[in-house]
Amino acid sequence: MRILVLGATGYLGAHITERLRALPGALLRTCGRAPTAHLRCDLATATPGDLVELLVRAAPDAVVNCAGAVGGTALTLAEVNSRGPAALCEAVRAAAPGARLVHLGSAAEYGPHPRGARTAEEDPAHPVAPYGATKLAGTLAVTSSGLDAVVLRVTNPVGPGAPAAGLPGRLTAELRRAVGESPHGTVRVGDLSAFRDFVDVRDVARAVELAVAAPGPVPRLLNVGSGRAVPVRDLVHGLVRAAGFRGRVEESLPAVGRSAAVPWQCAEVGAAGRELGWGPRYSLADALGALWAADGAVGAGAPVPADRR
């Protein structure tokens, strides 16, 4: 099986690429902006023609799109998360119409839902910020493409390489600094009262592997999460324990992101179990331990190596 992975050098893309390399019979080609990728491509600016040329060269049986932006201006988010998938679908139709397309969506597309509810794939999507809105537009481009395609709508991934744009990566860097300078000091964070569904990046990578290899048609949309909502405070204190930090954590910073607008998030993941035989295997503690071991305990006080970013 020839597999082309776009966004292969990013956070999720790197984990997914590692997992797919071990798939029996897989011939993997990676694509991204970093020089370590086999093929260079920026989905934010690539035209359908550019992508057709890429697909002709790769001749894939499956295409996995991990490319995405979680921060930046609304224009940046739209270029990568909305226009990019639409251009990719057009190119797949032209150059590889028989290939399976696996696209990574986001639970941010759902927006607010009642506290205690698990959000299922058929539930309405009402994103509250440009990130969720642009990811939803990308999802709709894929699900309406007529291709053999599935969107895996991922909740909040946690694990090694977590980017600084999200709380796990940002807090890991802050704890590294604090442990190196003053293990009994203070780390300041924002309000942690929101509930989130955190999923280990290794579980996400396995879901992609199963979606790529699944025989026959698969549903157009499947949730990938832990199926359990926990306070964001649990993530913070779990990472503090993994770091061995003995200081104070103060919730004194201004609120950022969508926590106030979306106080509760939890995915219903039964469909992925029925359709792919997938279910989460790692706990939040497992994910946090792996994150700290890879990105936090690299000589406290020293910069994180470039290949861990």
Decide: 100 and 149 in contact? Cβ < 8 Å: yes
Q: What is the pTM of this model?
A: 0.93
Residues sharing a CB contact under 8 Å with residue 144, sequence separation 6 or more, in sequence order: none
| Phi, psi torsion values for 176, nearest 5 degrees | -60, -45
Beta bridge partners of 106: 154
E strands, the chain, in order:
2-6, 27-32, 39-40, 62-65, 100-106, 148-154, 156-158, 186-189, 195-196, 198-200, 221-224, 230-231, 248-251
pLDDT in tens for each of the 309 residues of the chain?
A: 999 999 999 999 999 999 999 999 999 999 988 888 888 888 999 999 999 999 999 999 999 999 999 989 999 999 999 999 999 999 999 999 999 999 999 999 999 999 999 999 999 999 999 999 999 999 999 999 999 999 999 999 999 999 988 999 999 999 999 998 877 888 999 889 999 999 999 999 999 999 999 998 999 999 999 999 999 999 999 999 999 999 999 988 776 555 678 999 999 999 999 999 999 999 999 999 999 999 997 544 433 333 332
Residue keyed to tokens 């991204």: 32
Catalytic position from the list 11, 110, 131, 282? 131
Residue keyed to tokens 């600016």: 45
C-alpha dihedral (11, 17, 22, 28), degrees to nearest 10: -170
pLDDT of residue 301: 40
Decide: 16 and 205 in contact? Cβ < 8 Å: yes
Instruction: Give catalytic status of residue 110 as yes or no.
Output: no
pLDDT of residue 169: 95
pLDDT of residue 257: 55
H/E segment holding residue 134: helix 130-143
How far is residue 250 CA from its own chain's centroid?
A: 28
pLDDT of residue 61: 97
70-86 burial: b if 16+ Cβ within 10 Å, else e: beeeeeebbbbbbbbbb
Rounded-to-integer distance, Cα 26 and Cα 280, Å: 23
Query: Topology of 2-160+199-227+268-281 in CATH?
Result: Rossmann fold (3.40.50)
Rounded-to-integer distance, Cα 153 and Cα 141, Å: 14
Decide: 2 and 56 in contact? Cβ < 8 Å: no
